[in-house]
Amino acid sequence: MAEIVLSVEDVSYSYASMDEEDVKALKNVSFDVERGSFVAIIGHNGSGKSTLAKLLNGLFLPKEGRVLVLGMDTQDEDLTWQIRQNAGLVFQNPDNQLVTTIVEEDVAFGLENLGILPADIRVRVDEALEAVGMEAFAMAAPHMLSGGQKQRIAIAGILAMQPQILIFDESTAMLDPMGRREVLSAVRKLQQTKDLTVLWITHFMDEAAQADRVIVMDGGRIVMDDTPQQIFRRADELEQIALDVPMSVKIAREMQKNGVELDCVPIGMQALAEAVCRLK
Ligand SMILES: Nc1ncnc2c1ncn2[C@@H]1O[C@H](COP(=O)(O)OP(=O)(O)OP(=O)(O)O)[C@@H](O)[C@H]1O
Ligand SMILES: [Mg+2]
């Protein structure tokens, strides 16, 4: 059994409202995350994904239940900095995350605030830029970069803090298909080579299909939590909560309607091609 790096225990969260009842955004949510895993979180608009993301690094505190980051309770104010440093949160729009006029200064920004020595900052910035494949752009101006490149710089800024857990809240939503693939593959590589734990919130089912595990949210609750194979088998149930399945699964379903049965639920185009080749 791998080490648990993140524990969400019976967490509820509500937003205060002036004129109506409070909005219950999360209701009794519980799950654990193992070190080194890549977990996708899906759910339609308003299902509670972003609220959950902000609870995972202590930006929000649970109204009920508790969140443990590497065993540290997010309610403990003395641990807030340590928790934020270990659980980095990357948002949707890279423009809101870049603050200076030179890429390497941007990546160094958080470190200066942490009081890291200049020589160490140099090493960490170089390593972080290399990790996202942006070392050639160290002296570039962030506003001159493409969306995908900017997002990779934002990720480098978080990586430089050397977190053990990375949480991405629709971080590829603003990118074109190429930029999306770039960022996701950079993150996957980091997860595998540096044993980072990744939580990947997305509306793209093809991205969720690449995860080790998929958590499905609906109305502030977790309604499914399983491998992509098991989750995307349940296409009809997903449809009822306004969710889609990956393209490869859609094609397999269309084939089935036309009388061609594959021997598996193909997750990804490669798996689909292989299943088709196995047909007699
Ligand atoms: N600042 C806020 N004040 C009041 N209610 C909020 C606030 N932020 C979110 N909510 C409500 O909480 C619920 C969950 O919102 P949340 O942003 O977590 O959903 P989400 O799954 O991230 O949605 P999306 O896919 O649109 O990003 C929704 O009903 C939403 O309207
Ligand atoms: Mg959201």
Q: Residue 29 has what pLDDT?
A: 98
Domains of the chain: 4-227 (3.40.50.300)
242 within ligand 1 shell (Cβ under 6 A): no
Strand-strand pairing, 197-201 and 38-42? parallel
Could you give phi then psi for residue 27, rounded to 5 degrees? -130, 110
- Which residues, other chains included, contact 45 with Cβ-Cβ below 8 Å and sequence gap of 6+? none
Q: Which amino acid is at 157?
A: G
CA of 4 to the centre of ligand 2 (A): 25
Whose CA is closest to 27, among 57, 59, 68, 55?
55
- What does the alpha-carbon distance between residue 136 and residue 130 come to, in Å, rounded to a whole number? 9
Note down pLDDT in tens along the chain; length 280 residues. Answer: 789 999 999 999 999 888 888 889 999 999 999 999 999 999 999 999 999 999 999 999 999 999 999 999 999 999 999 999 999 999 888 888 888 899 999 999 989 888 899 999 999 999 999 888 899 999 999 999 998 899 899 999 999 999 999 999 998 888 888 888 888 988 998 899 888 999 999 999 999 999 999 999 999 999 999 999 999 999 999 999 999 999 999 999 999 999 999 999 999 999 999 999 999 7
DSSP E strands, the chain: 4-15, 23-34, 38-42, 64-69, 72-73, 87-90, 165-169, 197-201, 213-218, 221-226
Q: Look at the block and give the residue holding tokens 């605030």.
A: 113
User: Whole-model pTM?
Assistant: 0.93
45 within ligand 1 shell (Cβ under 6 A): yes
What number does the ligand 1 atom closest to the CA of 52 have? 18
**Which residue out of 20, 24, 49 has the highest number of ligand 1 atoms within 8 Å of its CB and is therefore the one to mutate?**
49
